[in-house]
Amino acid sequence: MRRPLVAGNWKMNGSRTESAALLERVKKGMSSASKAEAVVCPPYVLIPLAAEKLAGSVVVWGGQNLSAHKSGAFTGEISGPMLKDYGCTYVIVGHSERRTLYGENDALVAEKYGAAQAAKLTPILCVGETLREREANQTETVVARQLDTVIEKHGIGSFKNAVIAYEPVWAIGTGKTATPQQAQDVHRFIRSRLASRDEAVADNIRILYGGSMKGSNARELLAQPDIDGGLIGGASLQAEEFLMICRAAD
């Protein structure tokens, strides 16, 4: 049985005051009996606040990105061991905004995935196609390439301690959600790609859907057999919306 996971990606949003209130509300609203696991990924500077507010609760926290390196002369970067030091459990790797706005290619994403695992963090590896790629029938080719780069570098066994997020780029922050069937088709493809190397790994890995998931559409997406949770951007900034998704996943 795969434990559902709902991850909030706050992106570059939130003051200290707003974030403290949001963290309090999420913590209060999350039942300790919840079957679903909830994680919030705030901007780096708010991670200590998340650690302080969420300590002892069922909600865990993580980073949105990390350096491929452990330490050293890398101005402006934050490493896996630093995130671990602040109690992070997860870290998002290869989000499409990192890939398109910051030039992260498959090889760098694979390095970051390895850096996360080396620091004992669970990477949430993001994959997904652009609208142009979907329209050109390239969805599976693109997703396979993104996955295979990581499998080849770190081995299929590394996916025992990883989460995958399928995020069609055209659905991120656009209000356009993939239909449950569109999402399920790609999730099934991802699982079968992993299964061709190791069936147990494929059965156990959690594959999250991301792209305009919110309280009102979460239930039907999460009802799909290969959708094990969500990676939530915009809706994770409102406690009630985020909690509604967690309840739908429960």
For ligand PGA, the binding residue among 232, 243, 248, 249 (CB under 6 A) is 232
- Residue 76 makes CB contacts below 8 A (sequence gap 6+) with none
List, by residue number, the catalytic residues: 95, 167
Comparison of 210 and 229: residue with beta carbon closer to ligand PGA: 210
Please state the φ and ψ torsions of residue 4, each to the nearest 5 degrees.
-60, 145
Comparison of 151 and 172: residue with beta carbon closer to ligand PGA: 172
133 near ligand PGA (CB under 6 A): no
Nearest residue to ligand PGA, by Cβ distance, number only: 233
Neighbours of 75 (CB within 10 A): 4
104 near ligand PGA (CB under 6 A): no
Cα 245 to the center of its chain, rounded Å: 14
Binding pattern for the stretch 152-171 against ligand PGA, x by CB under 6 A and - elsewhere: ---------------x----
94 near ligand PGA (CB under 6 A): no
231 near ligand PGA (CB under 6 A): yes
Distances (CA, A) of 115 to 45, 81, 209: 20, 9, 23
Comparison of 162 and 201: residue with beta carbon closer to ligand PGA: 162
22 near ligand PGA (CB under 6 A): no
For residues 229 and 6, is the Cβ–Cβ distance under 8 A?
Answer: yes
What region, left, alpha or beta, does residue 87 occupy, with left being phi > 0 and alpha being psi -120 to 50 degrees? left
**Residue from 141, 139, 205 nearest 178 by CA:** 139
Comparison of 50 and 172: residue with beta carbon closer to ligand PGA: 172
CB of 61 to ligand PGA, least distance (A): 16
* Rounded Cα distance, 1 and 247, in Å: 18
Q: Which residues from 189-218 bind ligand PGA, rule CB under 6 A?
A: 210-213
Comparison of 98 and 201: residue with beta carbon closer to ligand PGA: 98
For residues 128 and 169, is the Cβ–Cβ distance under 8 A?
Answer: yes
**Residue from 243, 146, 153 nearest 193 by CA:** 146
For residues 205 and 162, is the Cβ–Cβ distance under 8 A?
Answer: yes
9 near ligand PGA (CB under 6 A): yes
CB of 153 to ligand PGA, least distance (A): 23
172 near ligand PGA (CB under 6 A): yes
Give me the residues that bind ligand PGA (CB under 6 A), please.
Answer: 9, 167, 172-173, 210-213, 231-235
